[in-house]
Every structure is written in C-alpha cells, then in structure tokens.
Amino acid sequence: MQKLYKETFCFLGTSIVILVSFYFLFGISENVVINIKDTYYAIKPFTILIPFFISIFFFIYLVRVFIGKFNNLIANFIFLTFNLLTIILFTYLLIYVNSQIELAGSIEYPPLSGGVVEVKGNNYQNFFYLLLFLQVILIILQSLLGIKTGMKYKSNKFSQS
C-alpha cells in the first residue's frame, strides 16, 4: 500500500510540474505559432498540451522503469500506458508526415509540351522513416516490457497466496 501512495504522489507531482512548465512555456490564452518552411500553423495551446504531457510522462517513466530494473509493477503499468499513447501519437504523426511527402520520381504539373519534371526526395521522407523506425522500437519495447511485467505480476500473485 505504501508503494501505491508513493506512485500516486509521484504521478500527481509530475503532472503538476508538467502543467506549470507548460503554462510558462506556451501560455494559456495565446495561440502557439509554428513556422515550417513558408507555412505558419497557429495552434491552440490545449492541442499541444496532450502530446507534451504524453511525451514528458513517457520519458520520465522510461527512466524510472530502467532505473528500477522493471521491479516496480505500478511504474511498469504506467509506463506501458504512456508507451501505448506514444505509439498512437507517433501513428498520427506518421500520417501527417506521409501526407507531406513528395515521392521521388513523381511529376508535378508538367506542361503539355514540356519534358518530365522529376521531384527529388525531401526531408519529410527521411523524417517519415525515422519516425517509423522509432515506432517499431517502441512496439518492441512495449512487447518486452509487457512480458516482463506479466511475469513479475504472476510471480507476485503466487508468492502472496
């Protein structure tokens, strides 16, 4: 029961620190403006809060799980939850990046009398493959940690009865 209180306070403390730091970084009432090439994206702060929250919790509990050598079941379950949310976040990010890719060899509005205009690959394609690689790593980590947590849970359940 003592571990549950410790984990609850750690979770709530981390949440409060994240919310306060988010408030000081992005504010509440102003839009966050992101400039990518020649496009400006004006985003409400609440839209950024959820990915920010998930990312920070993912990294904090990643460190806690590895430092604790997978022995803390509550931290493992919290990390599994935030790892799954990070995988879902990466999926949406992959969908967006894939929509921005101009594949090499495609033709963009060629004139009828002109030759073929080839578009060389861009950085979105490299970023897409990087995100895909990271997502595969996260899925492997989710599987391995799920197996380790299940084995630990099973051994704790039988040792208590």
In the three-class reduction of DSSP (H, G, I as helix; E, B as strand; rest coil), residue 68 is classed as coil
Q: Could you list the residue range(s) of the whole structural domain that residue 37 is in? A: 2-106+118-160
Read off the pTM.
Answer: 0.80
pLDDT mean across residues, the chain? 85
18 within a domain of the structure (yes/no): yes
> For residues 127, 37, 32 and 93, what is the CA-based torsion angle, rounded to 10 degrees?
-20
Would residue 112 count as lying in a domain? no
With respect to residue 138, please indicate whether it lies within any of the assigned structural domains: yes
Q: Tell me the per-residue pLDDT of 62-86, one tens digit each, with 9 for 90 and over.
A: 999 999 988 899 999 999 999 999 9
> pLDDT tens for residues 102-144?
654 555 565 666 665 555 666 778 889 999 999 999 999 999 9
Q: Is residue 51 part of a domain?
A: yes
Which whole-number Å values give the CA distances from 21 to 13, 32, 114, 142, 151, in the listed order? 12, 15, 55, 28, 37
Euclidean distance between CA atoms 32 and 44, whole angstroms: 6
Q: Say how many domains are in the chain.
A: 1
Assigned domain for 111 exists: no
Residue 66 lies in a domain: yes
